[in-house]
């Protein structure tokens, strides 16, 4: 789902979710969250969807306009950015 400008509030960021993360928000493919940084986004998510805590504990990453952030929660969420919540990746 590409980002579409939310008409009712310019501070909202549309966040896409994939895989098991959707179960934490009742199956939704995307949600709108008022947040200026990744840290704010995660705080709002847990406030609204307590089930997300378990998902966050398992490890998540946030992609902003295609750049994946696994750790830096101070990253700003620019208005109109494509934001995707995804599982945290490790490797071999």
Partner 1 sequence: MTHDNSYTGQKFKVIGNRFKRPDGVDKVTGRARYGADASAPGQLVGLVLRSPHAHAKIKKIDTSKAEKLPGVKAIITSDDLPDLTGGARDMANILENCMARGRALYDGHAVAAVAAVDNQTARKALKLINVSYQVLPHVTDVDEALKEDAPVIHDWVYTGGLDPKPTTPSNAANRTQMGHGDVDAGFAAADVIVEHTYKTEQTHQGYIEPHACLATVSPDGSAEMWVTTQGPFTYRTVCATLLGLDIAKLKVTSSEIGGGFGGKTHVWMEPLALALSRKTNRPVKMVMTRDEVFRASGPTASTSIDVKIGAKKNGKITAATLEMRYQGGAFPGPWAMLACMTGFACYNIENQRSVGWDVIVNRPKVAAYRAPSAPMAAFAVESALDIVAERIGMDAVDLRLKNVAKEGTQAPYGPIYGPIGIEAALKAVKKHPHYKARLQKGQGRGVACGFWFNIGGQTCVDLNIGTDGTVNLAVGTVDVGGARSSMAMIAAEELGISYDDVRVSVADTASLGHNDTTEGSRGTFSSGMATIFAARDAINVLRERAAKMLDVPVEDVVWQDGEARATGKGHGNLPVLSLKDIAGKSANTGGPIAGHNEVVADGAGMGFAAHICDVEVDNETGLATVARYTVVQDAGKAIHPDYVEGQFQGAAAQGIGWALNEEYVYGADGRLQNAGFLDYRIPVCSDLPFIDTQILEIPNPNHPYGIRGVGETSIVPPLGAVNNAIASAAGVRMKHAPMSPIRVLDALDEASVESQVSAG
What residues make contact with partner 1 under the rule CB under 8 A? 1, 16-20, 23, 27, 58, 63, 65-72, 74-75, 82, 84-87, 89-92
- Minimum distance of partner 1 from residue 33's CB (angstroms): 16
- Minimum distance of partner 1 from residue 65's CB (angstroms): 7
- Minimum distance of partner 1 from residue 60's CB (angstroms): 12
Specify whether the CB–CB gap between 25 and 42 falls below 8 A: no
Which of 5/89 has CB closer to partner 1? 89
Q: Which phi and psi angles does 41 have, rounded to 5°?
A: -60, -45
Which of 8/27 has CB closer to partner 1? 27
3-state secondary structure at position 19: helix
Q: What distances in angstroms separate CA 37 from CA 27, 34, 91, one per listed residue?
A: 24, 10, 26
Which of 9/90 has CB closer to partner 1? 90
């Amino acid at each position: 789902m590409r980002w579409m400008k939310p008409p009712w509030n310019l501070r909202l960021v549309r966040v896409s979710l994939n895989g098991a993360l959707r179960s934490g928000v009742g199956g939704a493919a995307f949600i709108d969250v008022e947040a200026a940084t990744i840290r704010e986004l995660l705080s709002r998510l847990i406030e609204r969807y307590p089930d997300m805590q378990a998902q966050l504990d398992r490890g998540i990453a946030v992609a902003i306009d295609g750049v994946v952030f696994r750790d830096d929660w101070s990253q700003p969420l620019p208005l109109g950015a494509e934001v995707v919540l995804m599982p945290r990746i490790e490797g071999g």
